[in-house]
Amino acid sequence: MAYVITLPCVDVKDRACVDECPVDCIYEGGRSLYIHPDECVDCGACEPVCPTEAIFYEDDVPAEYGDYPGINAEFFAQVGSPGGAARQGAFDFDHPAIQALPPQA
């Protein structure tokens, strides 16, 4: 299990969660942040600092964001396990479902 970043993060990318993550598993895409499911240690440090309330434990993702655990996992199926977000830097793309979204307010 892991934490998952959902729709309220799209086009916001506040990054407070990135600063709080002790294992550097929150990666930046073009429009959203993503938590690497294999690198996340389920500490929960990211969830309370998210100003948009976009982060949920995988089992607690609300029904309206039910696709997001898969979206997060599929993003990393494409990029692999870079071994740390800070070392990797931002990606210039997103999961196709995120790319297809209209701009978020």
Query: What tens digit of pLDDT does each residue of 14-62 get?
Result: 999 999 999 999 999 999 999 999 999 999 999 999 999 999 999 999 9
Domain membership of residue 63 (yes or no) is yes
Domain membership of residue 102 (yes or no) is no
Give pLDDT, residue 86. 93
- Nearest Cα to 50, choosing from 13, 103, 23, 90? 13
Domain membership of residue 37 (yes or no) is yes
Query: Range of 75's domain?
Result: 3-83
Domain membership of residue 24 (yes or no) is yes
Domain membership of residue 78 (yes or no) is yes
Domain membership of residue 59 (yes or no) is yes
Domain membership of residue 35 (yes or no) is yes
CA distance 5 to 1: 13
Q: Per-residue b/e over 32-45, b at no fewer than 16 CB within 10 Å? A: bbbbbbebbeeeeb
The 10s digit of each residue's pLDDT in 49-100 is 999 999 999 999 999 999 999 999 999 998 898 989 999 999 999 999 999 9
pTM: 0.95
Residue 105 has pLDDT above 80, yes or no: no
Domain count, the chain: 1
Q: What is the CATH number of the domain that holds 74?
A: 3.30.70.20
Domain membership of residue 91 (yes or no) is no
